[in-house]
Amino acid sequence: MREITHFIDGAAVTGTSGRFGDVFNPNTGEVQARVQLATAAEVDRAVRSALTAQRDWAQVNPQRRARVMFEFKRLIERDMDALAELLSSEHGKVIADSKGDIQRGLEVIEFACGIPHLLKGEYTEGAGPGIDIYSMRQPLGVAAGITPFNFPGMIPMWMFGIAIATGNSFILKPSEKDPSVPVKLAELMMEAGAPAGVLNVVHGDKVAVDAILDHPDIRAVSFVGSSDIAHYVYSRGTAAGKRVQAMGGAKNHGVILPDADLDQAVKDIIGAAYGSAGERCMALPVVVPVGKVTADAVRERVLGELETLKVGISTDPAAQYGPVVSQAHKQKISDYIQMGVDEGAELVVDGRGFSLQGYEQGFFIGPSLFDQVKPTMRTYQEEIFGPVLQIARVESFEEALHLPSSHQYGNGVAIFTRNGRAAREFAQQVNVGMVGINVPIPVPVAYHTFGGWKRSAFGDVNQHGLEGVRFYTKVKTVTARWPEGAVEDSAFVIPTMK
């Protein structure tokens, strides 16, 4: 059986813990590999390698670091098909979706190629008599990323792309459920010209996470995962003196006003709710139609779309989504569906009985649809993270605005309307971090930043874009004077610029 090792100091490193995690093929339910789980000592070994590499890497000028990013981009594009197939084989998402996963990460790498410009500081000539002031951005040292199973290509590149381009070295702890693509990314970074130790991959569970959070030489940690763990990472990491950004869960709403193009809105929502089997933090699992006429029409159109929606294996080009990542996750989704029934929501379509001929042991679950969902229900309050769409009916724009604004999560929200004034008012007032106007998955492009509000994010700095550059650097400000002539008397008061 294939064994997935750590990647430290530019080479595969066999672990010593004797502990392993199973890596499944979600299409068949079979164990296809096992991944080594690190000890704290192995995390420390990766950090020591990263420390050594970072000292020299930080001295490489930004233009040359950008050239490594350009070459890394080229190599990813060269290997796109193989990477997507590998990703799908461990995660379960269809090939086209895996390519999208990698491409969205690659867009951050493209942004990082502009690092010489992004690192430029500020300069003031003549701030005082013969005094100039300038600032510079410098790397923190060693940074780390802890990434989830749902985007094993995109989210690691969101993190290490900016971190490495700004002169840091990086420790990546990917999900143990689908760890192969992150290792391939590290190998390609070395092939692109990054020195050994600049990007290390350490697999593991809570032991590795805690070792990262506690290690005194790791200066910053970026995390994406569930909200409870995000809060834990943020609390423990900041208590250890680290800079931390920790992105948590979501329950994104799609508000549909009566004037919306319903056919387009429903098609958008179907893709956003069921794509990647709903395993996206920017999925759209709650649709909020305003008024009974709109709600009834939305329900009818959703049912029509579900009749043609195809669930299949990852390599089926006709499939719109594939299996979920594990049997445990499939059971969790099934339990939430039963919870919704018990809470009194109307289960219009039940996907729990879905089975794919020839792949009966795969982790497949069909699309489910609830209507008459109320804000008091746990299935509305909590993140299901599966192919389950909930209709939460409201009677007014104000109610539609209130639902996402008052929810514990504040990652993303979308509004569908032809009314520019209503859309503008909604975007201004909604208490959510990312807003889509007739855009169902409002993930900002790489040169903007990604981040939610409330329990969807802990920390003050978002991912990628200029916020990412700020997160992985520290500012140094220099006040310089080159005196000429007579020596001045000592000054015993704080200098001012009168």
> 406 and 270 in one domain?
yes
pTM equals 0.95
Same domain (yes/no): 188, 59: yes
**105 has a pLDDT exceeding 80:** yes
Each residue's pLDDT tens digit, 209-244: 999 999 999 999 999 999 999 999 999 999 999 999
Per-residue pLDDT tens for 123-176?
A: 999 998 889 999 999 999 999 999 999 999 999 999 999 999 999 999 999 999
What are the strands, taking DSSP E only, across 392-456? Answer: 409-410, 412-416, 434-437, 453-454
211, 69 Cβ separation under 8 angstroms: no
> Is 271 found in the same domain as 231?
no
- Cα-based distances in Å from 462 to 119, 434, 450: 17, 11, 6
Mean pLDDT of all residues in 253-282: 97
Place 361 in a pLDDT band, splitting at 50, 70 and 90: very high
CA 280 to chain centre: 9
In whole angstroms, give the CA distance from residue 225 to residue 467. Answer: 19
Is residue 92 assigned to a domain? yes
Tens digit of pLDDT for each residue in 428-442? 999 999 999 999 999
**83 CB-side CA count, 13 A:** 27
Asked if residue 36 lies in contact with residue 203, where contact means CB atoms within 8 angstroms, the answer is yes
Q: Which of 356, 154, 383 shows the shortest CA–CA distance to 278? A: 383
Instruction: Judge if 10 and 54 occupy the same domain.
Output: yes
3-state secondary structure of 168: coil
| Predicted pLDDT of residue 493 | 73
DSSP code per residue over 198-214: SEEE---SHHHHHHHHH
202 closest CA partner among 75, 36, 413: 36
Residue 497 resides in a domain? no
Domain hosting residue 402, numbered range: 253-437
Residue 484: the pLDDT is: 78
Q: Do 167 and 226 have their domain in common? A: yes
Q: State the pLDDT at residue 1.
A: 86
**96 located within any domain:** yes
Kindly tell me the burial class for residue 292, based on how many C-beta atoms sit within 10 Å of its own C-beta (0-12, 13-18, 19 or more).
exposed
> In the predicted model, is pLDDT for residue 491 greater than 90?
no
User: In terms of domains, do 241 and 179 share one?
Assistant: yes
- CATH code where residue 201 lies: 3.40.605.10
Whether 279 and 405 share a structural domain: yes
Based on the domain organization, do 95 and 175 belong to the same domain? yes
Of the candidates 166, 157, 19, 154, which has an alpha carbon nearest to the alpha carbon of residue 100? 154
* pLDDT value, residue 182: 98
What does the pLDDT look like over 241-255, one tens digit per residue?
999 999 999 999 999
Domain assignment of residue 450, yes or no: no
The domain total for the chain is 2
In this structure, the answer to whether residues 121 and 136 fall within a common structural domain is yes
pLDDT at 41: 97
Q: Say what the pLDDT of residue 497 is.
A: 63
Mean pLDDT of the chain: 96
Both 285 and 226 in one domain: the answer is no
- Which uninterrupted H or E stretch holds 480? strand 473-481
Strands across the sheet containing 457-458: 11-13, 6-8, 199-201, 169-173, 142-146, 218-224, 243-247, 457-458
When pLDDT is averaged across residues 45-62 and rounded to a whole number, the result is 98
Q: Are strands 20-25 and 142-146 parallel, antiparallel or unpaired?
A: unpaired
Q: Are residues 288 and 433 in the same domain?
A: yes
Q: What is the pLDDT of residue 489?
A: 74
User: pLDDT digits over 438-480, tens only?
Assistant: 999 999 999 999 999 999 999 999 999 999 999 999 999 999 9
What pLDDT was estimated at residue 125?
95
CATH number, domain of 315, equals 3.40.309.10
Are 231 and 336 within one domain?
A: no
Task: Answer yes or no: is 170 within a domain.
Answer: yes
State yes or no: pLDDT of 404 exceeds 70. Answer: yes
Burial per residue of 140-164, b for 16 or more beta-carbon CB atoms within 10 angstroms, e otherwise:
bbbbbbbbbbbbbbbbbbbbbbbbb
**Pairing between strand 30-36 and 20-25?**
antiparallel
Q: Is residue 398 domain-resident?
A: yes
Residue 490 lies in a domain: no
DSSP string, 324-336: -S-HHHHHHHHHH
pLDDT of 498 strictly over 70: no
Query: In this predicted structure, what is the pLDDT of residue 494?
Result: 74
| 3-class state of residue 462 by DSSP | coil
Q: Is residue 424 part of a domain?
A: yes
How far apart CA 92 and CA 296 sit, in angstroms, is: 33
Statement: residue 383 has pLDDT above 70: yes
| Active-site residue set | 281
